Structure formats: structure tokens, C-alpha cells
Structure 1
Amino acid sequence: MDEQLTQDIFHSPGVRALRADLALALRAAAHHGLGEGVCNHFSVALPDHGGLFLLNPRGLQWREVQAHDIVLVDDAGRRLAGAHEIEPTAMFIHAAVHRVANKACVMHAHMPYATALTLTQARSLDTTLSQNAMRFHGRIAVDAAYNGLALDAEEGERIACAIQGADIVFLGNHGVIVCGARVDHAFDDLYYLERACMVQVLAHSTGLPLARVQPAIAARVAAQAGTERVQSELFFASLRRSLR
């Protein structure tokens, strides 16, 4: 791609706004304890430029990422704009999920409680337990076949194929990927997914029998939650006011 065209895209008002949103989501995730060192990654596709997406850079903790740190990448792994390098597993996972699963926003994290559930036989969240879990009923896939670090395109594509139309995939012995149509919606799901996983782990720790609802009830709650996306937007707006 022509260098001038790349810079025009990177600095256009719409992309600048997406860069700010992605950086805010990263800082908010760090604020809520969902980050891990300088690992894990969030990305968002550019809707009018097929194959291009924004990605957090290598070597920065999420809490320090600002809009100017975000990099522009193509689906071949080339950094087109931005001052920082990109991390290889980020490139292989996110390029594949955007391309194969056709997801707009992709958030990959090793959140403590969600990752804890990937170590269990079920590998996943029970969406018939808490109300927060029910919002994900019918929206989760499981990739139980842990295959090492995603350091090649084949592994990235294998993970992307495991999504199979879901919004969330639990990666066995690894972490989670949360996808959404928008950054604020995906972040809201990421946050509440970890809350639901935390409550499930705490409930299991009591050793007491767990009380599940019928799947039909969980499906109804999921449908209800899907109509309440204004809550996701209000939450993200509050984060914009409170985090710098």
C-alpha cells in the first residue's frame, strides 16, 4: 500500500477514534485486573479497508497504552503505521480471527478466573448458573485442543476455525477470546465474562451443591441481555470519563 495512503488512513478521524477506543479498552482491562505483563492483545478491523486492523503494540503494559501507541497492521503481518513493533502470536491469532471468523473486534486475554475454567474438564463457563453467565448462553465455543504457542499461521487459523460463529471461545489450558461488532460491546462482554467466571469459581470453592436454571431460562436471559447494549455503551462512556 502506498505510504501516503497508509498515513491518510491511520490519521483519518474515524481511525483515530478507533485507536482511542482500543487504547481505552486496554487501559480499562488493566484497571480491572484482566491484563498479564506485556502479553495478550486487542484488535479492531477497519470497516472500510479490508484486511487492515489496529492492534496494541509489543512491549507495553495495557495500563500505559494510549491512542498514539496503537499500530496499523495488514493481514499478511506487516506493520503499516505506528511507532512500535508487533508481537508474533498477536499477529497470527488476530489476523486469522479477523479473516477466517470475520470478527470486527477481537480481544484475547488470560484473565485469571476465565483461564482457571479452561483448566477444568468442562473447559468453559456454565451458562446456567449466574445471571451474568446466562448472557453468554449459546454464544460460547470451546477449543479444548491446546497446541502450544500460536507462532505460525496454521495455529492461528486453527484457533479461528474453533470459533464457529460464536462470540467467545475458551481456549483449553490457555485463555479466552472475546469478539464483538464494536470495541465497547466487546469490552463489556470481556468484563462480564470474567465476573461470571469469578462467581462460578467462588461458588465451586464452597463445596456446596450448585443450583442451575433450566437452559430455556438461560436462553431467555441471553436474548434479554442482547437488547440491552445501551448498558455496554454507558459503561464504556463512564470508563472514558474516569480513566486517562
Structure 2
Amino acid sequence: MDHDHTLFHRDDVVALRHDLALSLRAAAHHGLGEGICNHFSVMLGGNSGLFLINPHGLHWAEVGPDDIVLVDERGERVAGAHGVERTAMFIHAAVHKLAGKTCVLHTHMPHATALTVTPSGKLNTKLSQNAMRFHRRVAFDADYNGLAFDETEGERIAAALQGADVAFLANHGVVVCGESLAAAYDDLYYLERACQLEVLARSMGGGLAEVSDQVAEATAAQFARDRDQSRLFFEALRRELPLP
């Protein structure tokens, strides 16, 4: 398929490149990255089949808007100066296409990943207030099969989501999805905070105090009605971590 490379420089796409670079730098700032691994992506609108993704080989802390790469759903680079790591394509292309997600953030952030190696495999959304924002929004992919070197890994993750915004991937990490980078990053940040609290509570050796389903559902609904907080947090990060 032939693509118009001028799309990469269209004002709305340039703005998305800035937001994607900001989310990557914020994740590095908050300790959510891992070396030069893991990937953030955002789909372009209009049924284009194109999405922006971070480049292979750069640390998230150094990524700027000009480093972002535009790729198609086959993983072929459409625009940008860098290559893309191949496991990124197998995970992100499938989740964008099959699960219909606009933004897909994949990390091995430590506390969330710690929970993926426990018998439950995921966050208990009836514990802390931060955890309750994810009540009924979390899925679990129990089948770890090694590195994602073919389409089946991404297809399985996309199927496991079943409409959820967050997937815990057994023995691997997490995928957080959203309709905007501000919303997705806000969820990513608070997911790790919720997981950190659970890991700390488990380390104390006692029992865990759950709230009822009704309280967790009501709290999740309260969070869902106040998503402007996501935008305000993202704008605060824009001031704190100015891009070059």
C-alpha cells in the first residue's frame, strides 16, 4: 500500500508525536521503563491502518517528537528516521486492529510485573483506592509462550482484553489501553501505584482487607466521571518535562 508521507508532518500528527514522546519521557521519569525495551503506540484516525510508535534503540528518556516512527499494520515503516523493534509490531498491531484500541502502552514496570508471577496474576481491584479505579477493567492473559516473534502473541493478547482497558500478561508485563495518550498514561501511572501498594501489603505477611464489590464498583464509577484529571496530569507533565 502506498502512503502519503506528508501525513507525518500534518499538524494533528505532529501533535500526537509530541504527546507520544512526552508519555515515553514521563514513563522514564517515573521508573516505568526497562532499558530500551517496551513500546508505546497510538493509532491514527480515519481507518488509515497507521500508527505512531517509539523507535528501536533509544532510551525513553531521550526520545523526542522527531524520533517517533509512523508504521502500517504490517510493521512497515512509512515515515521516521529509525527502525522499529519487531516484537513491538506483533503486539501493538494486533491490539490496535483486533481490539480496536487507539493507544496501547506496553511495559514491564516492576510492581505490576511482580503481580504477573503470582498465582492470581493480576491486581486485586478491591484493595486500595487506586486499585478500585480499575475494577471491572482488568483482563488476564495466562499463556506465556516466550518472546513475541509472530502474530499469535498479539492476537492472543487482543483476544484476552475482551473490552478491558488493562491486560496483565502472565510472567511478562502489562498492556494499558486508552482513547487518548493522556488517559492511557494516567491509567498506566496509577496502575503501577496500585500494584506497588498491593506488593507492599503482601510483603507484610498478614491478610489483605478487601472492600465489597459494590464499593469497588461505585468508586470505579466515580473515577470514570472525572477523566479531566487525566488531561490535567498530562499537562502538568508537559510543564515538568519540556521536550527539546
TM-score (norm 1): 0.97
Which residue in 2 is equivalent to 1:237?
A: 235
Secondary structure of residue in 1 paired with 2:100: coil
Secondary structure of residue in 2 paired with 1:129: coil
1:137 and 1:58 map into 2 onto residues whose CA distance is 34
Secondary structure of residue in 1 paired with 2:13: helix
Which residue in 2 is equivalent to 1:52?
A: 50
Which residue in 2 is equivalent to 1:159?
A: 157
Which residue in 1 is equivalent to 2:38?
A: 40
1:77 and 1:241 map into 2 onto residues whose CA distance is 33
1:146 and 1:2 map into 2 onto residues whose CA distance is 36
Secondary structure of residue in 2 paired with 1:59: coil
Q: State the aligned residue count.
A: 242
How far apart are 1:49 and its partner, in Å?
Answer: 4.3
- For residues 213-232 of structure 1, the aligned pairs below 5 Å read 213-232=211-230
Secondary structure of residue in 2 paired with 1:83: coil
- For residues 1-244 of structure 1, the aligned pairs below 5 Å read 1-2=1-2, 5=4, 7-244=5-242
Unaligned stretches of 5+ residues in structure 2: none
Secondary structure of residue in 2 paired with 1:141: strand
**Residues 18-74 of structure 1: per-residue CA shift (max 9 Å, x gap):** 000000000000000000000000000001242100000000011111100000000
How far apart are 1:161 and its partner, in Å?
Answer: 1.0
Runs of 4+ in 1 over 2 A off after TM superposition: none
Letter matched to residue 111 of structure 1: M
1:184 and 1:59 map into 2 onto residues whose CA distance is 24
**Residues 84-123 of structure 1: per-residue CA shift (max 9 Å, x gap):** 0000010110000000000000000000000000000000
Unaligned stretches of 5+ residues in structure 1: none
How far apart are 1:208 and its partner, in Å?
Answer: 2.0
Secondary structure of residue in 1 paired with 2:27: helix
2:17 and 2:92 map into 1 onto residues whose CA distance is 16
Secondary structure of residue in 2 paired with 1:73: strand
2:53 and 2:60 map into 1 onto residues whose CA distance is 12
2:13 and 2:128 map into 1 onto residues whose CA distance is 37
RMSD: 0.9
**Residues 168-215 of structure 1: per-residue CA shift (max 9 Å, x gap):** 000000000000000000000000000000000001111122111001
Letter matched to residue 31 of structure 1: H
2:121 and 2:176 map into 1 onto residues whose CA distance is 15
Secondary structure of residue in 2 paired with 1:224: helix
1:2 and 1:145 map into 2 onto residues whose CA distance is 36
